[in-house]
Structure 1
Amino acid sequence: MSYFHSGRLRLALLALPAIVLLLPFFLAVAFVLRFSFSAETQAIEGFSLGRYLGLLDPFFLRSVILTLKLAALSTVICLVLAVPVAMLMAAITQPIWRRIVTSLILLPMILNLLIQSYGWIMVLGPNGIINGVLLKLGLLDRPVQLLFNEIGVLVGLVQTALPLAVFPILGSMRAISGQYLEASASLGAKPWVSFRDITLPLLKPGLIGAASIVFAFNASAFAVPLLLGGRRVQTMGVAIRDMVSPMFDWGGAAAAGVTLIAITLATLMAATWLSTRSTQWQGAR
């Protein structure tokens, strides 16, 4: 019994630095949560549900729907792009090439979001690279509007979140035994059939984990929608920013932030549940 208590005490001491590090963030969330129920706009005083009732305004509901739409689309695109990239990284055996490819994948996480967004402005703008090439090839008569709309925001979200999808899938990819694919090939299955019937089902935990991370990351995105979408793409992050300044509705911004956190947590919990059920189902088979 004493050994059991000493083991629990040892684990608690090991977790203490992480708890101390995360405590300020939990306190900040608790502060925002209390502010969201405040009866005052710019001070914590009283109790009211008015801030949450104000979020039922059609303008904010459109922001919620648009945020979920862009987060879902970017998640699907990231998964489609991340699977072949993860397969390529898993197939690389030479350490030098593995480091090079890893560095290229991590590059969007290293560069500042402002630099990346301004780079996309140069690529997607009316006088940018894409429009310039299409005009010179005679495929367009006039530039296509790729900025300050959902297309530009979607491109930026996919580019910034792609590394978050690659590495969870890569972990699942490396856990797949090559004997499964060898057995499938020996039985006459084509590569596409092996990928569909063997690789893809075994990648389900990684796919679900990657989808939850990318969705949560892009649902709370602020810089990319603001810079590539301007005032025309009003996501929840941009709406919360507008509530803080210039509207100075701090209570409303707190309520919107809590709502965004709740949506993100619900998505992560659903992804965890799906991942657990998928693992249990695979184990049963």
Structure 2
Amino acid sequence: MSIALSRSRALAFSLPALIAILPFLGACFYIFRFSISGDKGTIDGYSIQPYLDLMTPFFGRSVWLTLKLAFVATLVAMLLAVPLAFLLTSLRSPLARRCLTVTILLPLILNLLVQAYGWILLLGPSGVLNSSLRSLGIIDRPIFLLFNETGVLLGLIQTSLPLAVFPIVSSVRGLSQEHLEAASSLGASQWRTFFDVTVPLLRPGLFGAASIVFAFNASAFAIPLLLGGRRVQMMGVAIRDMISPLFNWSGAAAAGMILIFITLIVLLFSSWLVRMTSENVRH
């Protein structure tokens, strides 16, 4: 009776979340139905031709570029997020902690267009960076950091960094001080304690944060379009081009389903790693 009661309570608590996610599931099913349509502009009949049309070197390069940039941006964001998370949790001054929190949250608060144009003003051929370097006599010609993979990477790292920091902050706050004190009392150095004790305890949070950041970067559209232009054809940009000017709605839906499928695989793999890591930490 108690088990049935606990299950009913769990279902009642999860019901609002299920109701909130229903529209998104409905949109996914609608996209899937469009992706197997026999017509490019409307839902008519059934066909796998939209998926077969994507089996081209161009779309393959787009998938590879998306995975590569999303992975590199996620790796760099995680390397920056870990020290920021420790710094945020170690600050004793409430004012300093609030200021750092607001600074980290700025990419989520500001509009993506504003952030992209800020990068353009900073990295453009006549932007702040190139003008400063030329005035100092360091360079003779502008360094091209826009409309290539470098500019897109910088934009992806900056916009996704908050999504990496705050899940790690929760994990850092949940660290057991008893384990750290035990390692220190046994003669372990700070670096040995960090790599042998702290990192294993943080792995679930690290994997969870990395999966969120990767999914965010893989589905990015505004940053690759504005900072990469037509030269960096990530999947978001490729899907946009299928819709306009090509008006290939079924092809865009098929590409969207492939992107959703790749993201789900990464999320499921991350969940498996988190579960395995949690079990190893318990043992």
**Corresponding residue of 1:50:** 49
Task: String of CA shifts for 1:106-128, please: whole Å, max 9, x gaps.
Answer: 11100000000000001111111
Letter matched to residue 193 of structure 2: S
CA–CA distance in structure 1, aligned partners of residues 92 and 221 of structure 2: 38
CA–CA distance in structure 2, aligned partners of residues 136 and 118 of structure 1: 23
CA–CA distance in structure 2, aligned partners of residues 198 and 14 of structure 1: 35
CA–CA distance in structure 1, aligned partners of residues 243 and 262 of structure 2: 20
Could you tell which deviates more after superposition, 124-133 or 29-38? 124-133
Identical aligned pairs, as a percentage?
Answer: 56
Letter matched to residue 125 of structure 1: G
Residue 137 of structure 1: how far off its partner (Å) = 2.6
Residue 5 of structure 1: how far off its partner (Å) = 5.2
**Corresponding residue of 2:124:** 125
**Corresponding residue of 2:78:** 79
Letter matched to residue 270 of structure 2: A
CA–CA distance in structure 2, aligned partners of residues 225 and 84 of structure 1: 27
Alignment of 1:31-180 (within 5 A): 31-180=30-179
SS in 2 for 1:121: helix
Task: String of CA shifts for 1:142-189, please: whole Å, max 9, x gaps.
Answer: 111000000000000000000000111111111112333334334443
Q: TM-score, normalised by structure 1?
A: 0.94
**Corresponding residue of 1:223:** 222
Query: Is 1:251 the counterpart of 2:250 in the alignment?
Result: yes
Letter matched to residue 58 of structure 1: P
Alignment of 1:234-245 (within 5 A): 234-245=233-244
**Corresponding residue of 2:205:** 206
Alignment of 1:186-201 (within 5 A): 186-201=185-200
Structure 1 residue ranges, 4+ long, deviating more than 6 angstroms after superposition: none
CA–CA distance in structure 2, aligned partners of residues 178 and 87 of structure 1: 14
Change (3 A) 1:137 1:185: farther
Long gaps (5+) in structure 1: none
Long gaps (5+) in structure 2: none
CA–CA distance in structure 2, aligned partners of residues 188 and 7 of structure 1: 45
Could you tell which deviates more after superposition, 6-15 or 31-40? 6-15
CA–CA distance in structure 2, aligned partners of residues 16 and 181 of structure 1: 39
Residue 83 of structure 1: how far off its partner (Å) = 0.5
Aligned residues: 283
Letter matched to residue 14 of structure 2: A
CA–CA distance in structure 2, aligned partners of residues 143 and 193 of structure 1: 44
**Corresponding residue of 2:29:** 30
Change (3 A) 1:10 1:80: closer
Q: TM-score, normalised by structure 2?
A: 0.95
